[in-house]
Amino acid sequence: MGACRIVTISKKIPLFKGEDAANNITLVELAEVGNRIVTGINTFKEGDQGLFIEPDYCLPNSNLFSEFHSPGGDPKKSKLGKDGRIKAVKFNLHTGDGKPVYSYGILMPLNGDIIKELMYRNIDITSEDLDKQLGITKYSPKTFSNNLEGSRKFPEGMYKTDEININNLWNDIEYPITLIGTQKVDGSSITIYSKLNADGTRTNGICSRNLEISPTKMVIIGDRKMTLWETIKTWFGKRVDTKVWKEQPNDNLFIKVGTPYLNKLIETCEIYGESIALRGELVGKESKGSGNKNNPNSTEDTHIKFYGADTFEGDIAIRMDEEGFNDIISRLGFERCHKYFQRKFRYKSEIVRLRENIFKEESSKGRVIEGIVLRSPDSSFSAKYINLEYDSKY
């Protein structure tokens, strides 16, 4: 699913400041996605279409998007986040309930200047790769991933966890549905795995979101004397490397924190003859996560909270159901992301109301959490439900 799509305005909702109606802006709902967007009051009519750009994507700082980066030439007025990230924007207005309104995503009219420019360039705004053509990229926070020498691409057949936003799935949910709600933790994605191969050997590893991290690194421990032949080569302008290298344990944080977890996983898998991958978030003082200053886990000692587990069929990872995940986490004695509920829902409104209550309860404890992950007990459905208050603050 790309970052851009054509959407239809299904509803316009009046906004208020106190008891007075807002004269210039309104809130619109979209038929295709659950995002709500604040727009000019006369920009759209119900039934109109627009070009929608997903939140958590970055707009390039190009002429095409200059008004988003520097409205009226003033970058201080930009509503974009770090690296041009599209984030939730808070408005101190309400729809009649007194609660602040958040605009989540970008919505452009099809008769606007940007779309006209794209048409002039013969760019098809319905193209599935429109985001790539425009240089729009998925936001990826800069992490502490040092010492990546020898690291490999992420293993084939395993999951690079990146949950789909629930706003893209509301129309696909069939009710009633049983869902499990766990805390979405703001950390760095980490996967540890131990896989039994056909020949009886094991392949073990620690991965970040995109790479398998090497457990060792090569370091220089000194210099050696050149041989006679090497000395002769330097007479002819040849360069000779006389540095002495030694393989040492990698001090990358994923390796440093993840190795004790991996060793315990290997031990357990060998006892039971299992192949298991555990997916989690590396959190705590040494893990920056998104960098949001409101991250409630940022003061904890650095550790891993797990949210999913997989078994293997050959080299292909198969997601465990809730019962299997609980079993392996209990056997290992590892921490899982906090589980808020497991219950059946008959309507979307029930999910929305429960989500609001959880965010409110956490806020009463002085904690603004990043969101909730919703999963079905068999793990066939999975989506993230972002806390827009948290998202708006970074």
Alpha-carbon distance 248 to 221, whole Å? 11
pLDDT band at 361 (very low <50, low <70, confident <90, very high): very high
Q: What is the pLDDT of residues 253-304, one digit of tens each?
A: 999 999 999 999 999 999 999 999 999 999 998 887 888 888 999 889 999 9
Alpha-carbon distance 274 to 132, whole Å? 41
Alpha-carbon distance 179 to 184, whole Å? 15
Contact, 275 vs 299, CB < 8 A?
no
- Return the C-alpha torsion angle 113, 8, 172, 178, nearest 10: 100
The count of C-alpha atoms lying within 13 angstroms of the C-alpha of 171, restricted to the half-sphere facing its C-beta, is 7
Give me the phi and psi of 258, to 5 degrees please.
Answer: -80, -25
Model pLDDT, residue 142 = 66
Mean residue pLDDT across the chain = 93
**b/e per residue, 30-68, with b = 16+ CB within 10 A?**
bebbbbbbbbeeebbeeeeebbbbbbbbbbebeebbeeb
59 has a pLDDT exceeding 70? yes
Q: What is the pLDDT of residues 110-124, one digit of tens each?
A: 999 999 999 999 999
147 has a pLDDT exceeding 60? no
77 has a pLDDT exceeding 80? yes
Model pLDDT, residue 228 = 86
Number of CB atoms found within 10 A of residue 182's CB? 19
Tokens for 55, please give them: 């939140």
Alpha-carbon distance 125 to 110, whole Å? 9
79 has a pLDDT exceeding 80? yes
217 has a pLDDT exceeding 80? no
Model pLDDT, residue 148 = 61
Contact, 68 vs 106, CB < 8 A?
yes
Alpha-carbon distance 190 to 205, whole Å? 11
Question: What domains can you pick out in the chain, each with its CATH number?
Answer: 4-138 (no CATH), 152-214+250-391 (3.30.470.30), 216-249 (no CATH)
Helix (H, G, I), strand (E, B) or coil at 134: helix
Beta bridge partners of 222: 244
105 has a pLDDT exceeding 60? yes
Q: Starting at the earlier edge strand, list the strands of the sheet with 4-13.
A: 36-40, 25-30, 4-13, 49-53, 106-109
Please enumerate in sequence order all residues whose Cβ is within 8 A of that of 378, keeping only pairs 6 or more positions apart, or say none. Answer: 321, 322
Average pLDDT of the residues in 80-109: 96
Contact, 65 vs 364, CB < 8 A?
no
Alpha-carbon distance 342 to 306, whole Å? 17
Question: With 0-12 CB in 10 A as exposed, 13-18 as middle and 19+ as buried, what is 16?
Answer: middle
pLDDT band at 249 (very low <50, low <70, confident <90, very high): confident
Average pLDDT of the residues in 324-350: 97
150 has a pLDDT exceeding 70? no
Nearest to 180 by CA among 350, 360, 379, 390: 379
CA distances to 209, 266, 282, 306 from 261, in Å: 17, 9, 12, 11
